[in-house]
Amino acid sequence: MKRYFHGTLSLMRLYLRQNRIFTLVWLLLPGAWVAINTVSSLVLFPTQEALIEMGVSLIDPLTVAMHGPLLDISVAGFVTWRTKVFLALVGGIFSMVYIIRHTRLAEEQGKRELLGANVTGSLATLAAALVSMVLINAMAAVLTIFAMIALGLGFVGSLAHCLGFFAASCVLGIVAGVVAQFFVSATAARGMSFGLLGLLFGLHILWNVSGGENLLAFLNPLEWPLLIRPFAVERFPLLLIPLALGAALMALSLWLTARRDVGAGLVPQRPGRAFAKPSLRGLSALAWRNQRGLFLAWFCFYAIFSLALGYASYLMVSAVSSAEALAGLIERLGGIDRAFLSLMLYVFGILISVYVMMAAGILRREEAVKGETLLSMPLRREKLVLSHMAYIFGGSAAILLVSGFCVGLGAVIGTGDSGALSRLFFEMAGMIPAIWVIGGIALLLFGALPKWMTGISYGLLTLFVLMEIFWEQQQIPEVLYALSPFSWITPLKAVQPAAAPLVLCVVTTILAGTGIALFRLRDAAL
């Protein structure tokens, strides 16, 4: 048995060295996020009376749906309640990306075969990825505990909070290790992993809205940070569930990887044609072949989920209408029947920015893998970029429009409001220019800093989301918030400038045009 894991420690050191910047960000992010929320909470709620008033105002369905119930009305209880879902989600994404990068992506790029030429066991690669992922999450949890203790939040509750998101992050990463055994493509494995994470988050919202503790909720990693009840009579025995589930999934992933060939997946790959289809004759057809899986997955998911959301929106109307704390917000959004869907569509628009980044990433991978071959033919560089821009910009617009149409259709069916279809459709259409700015930023980075494109683009997207959160808490000025493209489409503002869509389109044109010009000047596959 030992020979199967030979070389695991050496591979762990290699992985940690390869991901030192990526790892450093995750090690510091949880503690920094908790510290920011703690300081802002102390400023916003300096007295116990302010905390109690805040706790009463937060008892509304919209807030409970996202974060769950507030278990302890204190600074520590509010901070853990505010940060637990965010840390579990970000930790899960980090763990999934880390595992797939060192398993399926390494096989796809031929690195696994190169490592296998050395004296390494057949299970060492997966074992090293899983163990190093657990160690990184453990170190992030330890640093967060120290930060919370230094801020005076208490040891036992801090320990419960950090163990909750540590367990969720690790199990989600191990799930990605299982998923990676089924697919040949790293993109497919990553998409399936994120799809499962989205499903778990949807169930998390559903269970929070329904109230009570569902037995199946104990198997959802995103529920564990709440179920362990930090600072509210902690339930540490609950950690036996992620321990058992994680061990079982880890054993399953190792068992599956031992029963397949290197580079292959358990899902059989369909053999390709001996000759290409007649339609595959140009860059547009090649771009469609590369982009169609991502586009169709997002398009279908948003269509189905939006239809269900619109149909179920009537369930939220009576509940939200009784929340006095939301009276001002509901009035600004045009009434109770519009408030919930307006906020949800805004969140949808922000999430579609991730699709824009992923579509731009496909362009970068196409250039890195096939760029020299394509550009050796009589082909202008801007045509290569333009063929993918149809999906970066046109694809995101199509997803937004179908989401608005399906939400409106579901609302018509569920509530009988005949005007909901056109209203929600045009409301979603109004978000297109802001999402296009994200695509323009990605293209600018593609032309200027291709090696750093992915990291910087996702970092900027995260920064825009943080600016949204801090603006809602009145922690940043309006002038600074205006630098975020999302500030021009947020429904939380009473009035938006009439020229906002035109300004955003001009900014997108400048960013994309500059990116294409820089791509023409630099070396290919740089």
Q: Specify the DSSP class assigned to residue 377.
A: S
Query: Do 220 and 296 have their domain in common?
Result: no
Query: Do 58 and 150 have their domain in common?
Result: yes
Query: Do 301 and 194 have their domain in common?
Result: no
- pTM of the predicted structure, to 2 decimals: 0.71
Question: Which residue did the predictor score with more confidence, 201 or 415?
Answer: 201
Query: Do 184 and 299 have their domain in common?
Result: no
Question: Do residues 295 and 359 make contact, with C-beta atoms less than 8 angstroms apart?
Answer: yes
What does the pLDDT look like over 318-328, one tens digit per residue? 544 544 444 45
Residue 47 Cα distances to 21, 50, 167, 343, angstroms: 40, 5, 33, 30
Query: Do 191 and 333 have their domain in common?
Result: no
Number of domains into which the chain is organized: 2
Whether residue 111 is contained in a domain is answered as: yes
Q: How far apart are CA 292 and CA 359, in angstroms?
A: 10
Question: Which residue did the predictor score with more confidence, 515 or 214?
Answer: 515
What does the pLDDT look like over 147-193, one tens digit per residue? 999 988 889 989 999 999 999 999 999 999 999 888 887 777 887 88
Q: Provide the residue range defining the domain that includes 189.
A: 8-259
Query: Do 207 and 249 have their domain in common?
Result: yes
Query: Do 301 and 240 have their domain in common?
Result: no
What does the pLDDT look like over 70-94, one tens digit per residue? 777 788 888 888 888 889 988 998 9
Domain boundary among 224, 259, 294: 259
Q: Specify the DSSP class assigned to residue 492.
A: T
Whether residue 436 is contained in a domain is answered as: yes
What does the pLDDT look like over 94-153, one tens digit per residue? 999 899 988 888 887 777 777 766 777 778 888 899 999 999 999 999 999 999 999 888
Whether residue 184 is contained in a domain is answered as: yes
Query: Do 287 and 218 have their domain in common?
Result: no
Q: How confident is the model at residue 443 (pLDDT cuts 50, 70, 90)?
A: very high
**Which residue has tokens 């090649």?**
286
- Predicted pLDDT of residue 327: 47
Query: Do 325 and 194 have their domain in common?
Result: no
Query: Do 349 and 449 have their domain in common?
Result: yes
Whether residue 266 is contained in a domain is answered as: no
- Predicted pLDDT of residue 474: 67
Q: Provide the CA 294 distance to its chain's centre, in angstroms.
A: 15
Question: Which residue did the predictor score with more confidence, 174 or 207?
Answer: 174
Query: Do 240 and 377 have their domain in common?
Result: no
Q: How far apart are CA 94 and CA 165, in angstroms?
A: 12
Query: Do 91 and 199 have their domain in common?
Result: yes
Model confidence at 398: pLDDT above 90? yes
* Secondary structure (3-state) at 223: helix
